[in-house]
């Protein structure tokens, strides 16, 4: 019994995982000056860490080529070459020798100095390298501090249970997802992006557990059914949880038989069951689970975890790859929904008191039309390679939609002039603000489809911040106000020939599937792991 400890949290995604704990380090690297005895030995230590950093960057480069194409991936290749920069190396060596300083200090100081020099250069390209130098220095320092892996390799050498205080959307982009068995976080709620990621990856997740550094490397069980974390389980507990894990895997295996079958009710009504994805790689999970299309591609993830805006070409490659993978099935790309919890420094967004109700999503795109046009051009160009639709987030008025349509018409006009082909692209909007619900009759006359974003719609309707775990006791996912809004939206959409789907997390809630079908919902877009369970439910109605 000794050693075993149980912690209760909130289950944010079901399932059982058994494995070792890996704490996610938030770069708390110590770069303070320490005197060393042997400068040449310290330089050798630095050289070893530098070589490891090059290896890591080359691995990331290979992965990124597959996910976002060679052009976007080039940044990692460039960083691996930049590590050998003579000025940087000379600076590290001389800082170590002149001050008899530790390598962590020398790398950090050199990174600061050289990146400052780059930031003051005339040439825009060279200025942009300033952030790369900082990245490289951080990576080498992390390797020096841990004598091992960088932050991408959660669970290096095998899969592990990732524990963190919080996991921002930008951090999830950098994560090696193939090495994660489960998530355990202190913050986060069932609507947070960690929860959405867990659902996409089909791995258990718990929130509300204060993570202890002592757990690192220990054997643990995450029970996403009971909402508990068990550190160093005894043999009896382990056997019991293994049995549960086997049973849940068997259930999943039964659902596999529904692959290739249609999502139709017993009386023959077809509901489109689509997948929500956040990256090109997620499209594989959608295909594995036999998605009938992509109902929500959260394109903002292409903008996170980097230092500059993705170019038109980079975005084009990403959208084209998803369209190709889906082989003609519909792919709905949501335009940039940055802001609120999804932050990227280079947008230079001012700090806001109320970011969820602030400068985000379509508001940024309408305020910075060049940014918007670049994305629209990439989407339209990709539409020549499959069936692509566009949807716009956070709409509150008819006027906004008209302004958007004018910009997209301009984009088509210039593509025509340049003889660049594009397909027949449906345009729709997300219904995720109470204002959009109230205006749905008028909005339906402007667009081809509606997709109801219940995550934000619930937060704005109930005035409950979706990130705030403290509010869970007040949160009712099935609140009649939200259900009535969905019903009203479907009715108004259909009145004017719009098809209506749900792409918020509620769309994957099996307890509501029958209700949604009764309301006349045409499409449910859910995490890939939910597709077969939803199909199973639809076929029973
Ligand atoms: C929503 O708000 O329901 C939605 C699907 O968008 P996101 O979760 O990305 O805000
Ligand atoms: Mg939303």
Quote the CA–CA distance of 307 and 345 in Å, as a whole number: 7
The secondary structure element, H or E, covering residue 523 is strand 523-526
Same-domain pairing of 390 and 276: yes
pTM check: above 0.75: yes
Residue 31 lies in a domain: no
The secondary structure element, H or E, covering residue 51 is helix 39-68
Residue 33 lies in a domain: no
Same-domain pairing of 304 and 325: yes
Same-domain pairing of 311 and 173: no
Closest by alpha carbon to 321, among 353, 344, 299, 347? 299
Q: How many CA atoms lie within 13 A of 192 on its CB side?
A: 29
Same-domain pairing of 355 and 240: no
Residue 77 lies in a domain: yes
Site to probe by mutation for ligand 1, drawn from 343, 430, 453 as the one with most ligand atoms within 8 Å of Cβ, is: 453
Quote the CA–CA distance of 62 and 514 in Å, as a whole number: 44
Closest by alpha carbon to 376, among 327, 318, 333? 333
- Domain residue limits at 224: 5-24+154-254
Choice among 108, 193, 365, 498 that is catalytic = 193
CATH code for position 193:
3.50.30.10
Site to probe by mutation for ligand 1, drawn from 340, 456, 460 as the one with most ligand atoms within 8 Å of Cβ, is: 456
Number of H helices, E strands in the chain: 19, 16
Residue 30 lies in a domain: no
Which of 207, 239, 254 delimits the end of a domain?
Answer: 254
CATH code for position 380:
3.20.20.60
456 is in an annotated binding site: yes
Same-domain pairing of 240 and 266: no
Ligand 1 atom showing the smallest separation from residue 276 Cα: 5
List the pLDDT tens digit at each of the 541 positions of the chain.
Answer: 458 999 999 898 899 999 999 998 665 678 899 999 999 999 999 999 999 999 888 888 887 777 667 776 787 888 888 888 888 999 999 999 999 999 999 999 999 999 889 888 888 777 778 878 888 898 899 888 875 433 444 434 578 999 998 887 767 777 778 889 999 998 877 777 778 888 888 899 999 899 998 999 999 999 999 999 999 999 999 999 999 999 988 988 999 999 999 999 999 999 999 999 999 989 999 999 999 999 999 999 999 878 889 999 999 999 999 999 999 999 999 999 998 888 888 898 998 999 999 999 999 999 999 999 999 999 999 999 999 999 999 999 999 999 999 999 999 999 999 999 999 999 999 999 999 999 999 999 999 999 999 999 999 999 999 888 788 889 899 999 999 999 999 999 999 999 999 999 999 999 999 999 999 999 999 999 999 999 999 999 9
Same-domain pairing of 474 and 325: yes
Query: Looking at residue 331, what is its pLDDT?
Result: 98
Same-domain pairing of 91 and 204: no
Query: Looking at residue 241, what is its pLDDT?
Result: 95
Same-domain pairing of 132 and 269: no
Domain count, the chain: 3
Within 10 A of 214 (CB to CB), how many other CB atoms are there?
11
Q: How remote is the CA of residue 296 from the centroid of ligand 1, in Å?
A: 9
334 is in an annotated binding site: yes
Ligand 1 atom showing the smallest separation from residue 459 Cα: 2
Quote the CA–CA distance of 376 and 378 in Å, as a whole number: 5
Q: Is 496 a catalytic residue?
A: no
Within 10 A of 205 (CB to CB), how many other CB atoms are there?
31
Query: Looking at residue 165, what is its pLDDT?
Result: 87
59 is in an annotated binding site: no
Query: Looking at residue 330, what is its pLDDT?
Result: 98
Query: Looking at residue 287, what is its pLDDT?
Result: 97
Same-domain pairing of 392 and 530: yes
Same-domain pairing of 507 and 426: yes
Closest by alpha carbon to 444, among 511, 507, 496, 515? 496
Residue 268 lies in a domain: yes
Same-domain pairing of 317 and 376: yes
Ligand 1 neighbourhood includes 456 CB (under 6 angstroms): yes
Are 184 and 138 spatial neighbours (Cβ–Cβ below 8 Å)? no
Alpha-helix runs per DSSP H in 178-297: 193-201, 235-255, 282-288
Write the DSSP symbol of residue 165: S
Q: Is 365 a catalytic residue?
A: no
Same-domain pairing of 235 and 177: yes
Quote the CA–CA distance of 274 and 259 in Å, as a whole number: 13
Structure tokens at 477: 């996912």
345 is in an annotated binding site: no
Residue 34 lies in a domain: no
């Amino acid at each position: 019994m000794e050693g075993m400890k149980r912690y209760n949290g909130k289950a944010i995604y079901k399932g059982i995982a058994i494995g070792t704990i890996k704490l996610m380090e938030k770069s708390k690297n110590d770069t303070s000056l320490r005197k060393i005895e042997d400068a040449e030995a310290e330089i050798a230590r630095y050289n070893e860490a530098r070589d490891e950093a090059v290896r890591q960057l080359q691995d990331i480069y290979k992965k990124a080529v597959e996910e976002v194409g060679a052009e976007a991936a080039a940044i990692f290749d460039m960083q691996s070459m930049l590590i050998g920069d003579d000025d940087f190396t000379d600076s590290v060596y001389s800082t170590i020798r002149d001050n008899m300083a530790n390598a962590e200090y020398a790398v950090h100081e050199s990174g600061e100095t050289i990146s400052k020099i780059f930031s003051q250069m005339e040439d825009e390209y060279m200025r942009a390298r300033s952030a790369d130098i900082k990245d490289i220095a951080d990576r080498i320092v992390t390797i020096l501090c841990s004598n091992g892996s960088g932050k991408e390799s959660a669970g290096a050498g095998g899969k592990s249970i990732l524990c963190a205080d919080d996991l921002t959307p930008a951090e999830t982009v950098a994560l090696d997802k193939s090495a994660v068995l489960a998530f355990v976080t202190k913050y986060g709620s069932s609507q947070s992006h960690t929860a959405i990621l867990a659902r996409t990856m089909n791995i258990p997740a718990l929130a509300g557990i204060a993570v202890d550094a002592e757990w690192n490397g220990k054997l643990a069980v995450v029970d996403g059914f009971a909402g508990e974390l068990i550190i160093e389980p005894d043999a009896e507990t382990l056997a019991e949880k293994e049995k549960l894990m086997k049973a849940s895997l068997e259930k999943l295996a039964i659902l596999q038989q529904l692959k290739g079958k249609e999502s139709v009710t017993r009386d023959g009504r077809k509901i489109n069951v689509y997948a929500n994805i956040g990256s090109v790689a997620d499209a594989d999970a959608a295909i594995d689970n036999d998605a009938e299309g992509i109902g929500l591609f959260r394109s903002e993830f292409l903008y996170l975890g980097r230092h500059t805006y993705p170019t038109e070409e980079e975005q084009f490659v990403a959208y084209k790859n998803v369209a190709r993978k889906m082989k003609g099935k519909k792919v709905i790309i949501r335009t940039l929904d940055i802001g609120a919890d999804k932050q990227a420094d280079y947008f230079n967004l001012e700090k806001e008191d109320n970011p969820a109700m602030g400068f985000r999503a379509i508001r940024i795109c309408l305020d910075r039309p060049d940014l918007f046009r670049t994305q629209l051009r990439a989407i339209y160009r990709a539409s020549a390679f499959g069936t692509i639709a566009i949807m716009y987030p956070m709409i509150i008025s008819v006027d906004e939609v008209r302004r958007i349509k004018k910009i997209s018409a301009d984009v088509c006009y210039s593509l025509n002039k340049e003889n660049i082909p594009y397909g027949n692209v449906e345009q729709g909007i997300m219904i995720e603000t109470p204002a959009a619900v109230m205006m749905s009759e008028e909005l339906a006359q402007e667009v081809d489809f509606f997709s109801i974003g219940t995550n934000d719609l619930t937060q704005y309707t109930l005035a409950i911040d979706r990130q705030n775990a403290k509010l869970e006791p007040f949160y009712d996912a099935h609140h009649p106000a939200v259900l009535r809004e969905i019903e009203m939206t479907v009715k108004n959409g259909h009145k004017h020939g719009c098809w209506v789907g749900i792409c918020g997390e509620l769309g994957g809630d099996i307890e509501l599937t029958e209700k949604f079908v009764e309301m006349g919902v045409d499409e449910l877009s859910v995490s890939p792991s939910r597709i077969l369970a939803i199909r199973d439910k639809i076929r029973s109605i």
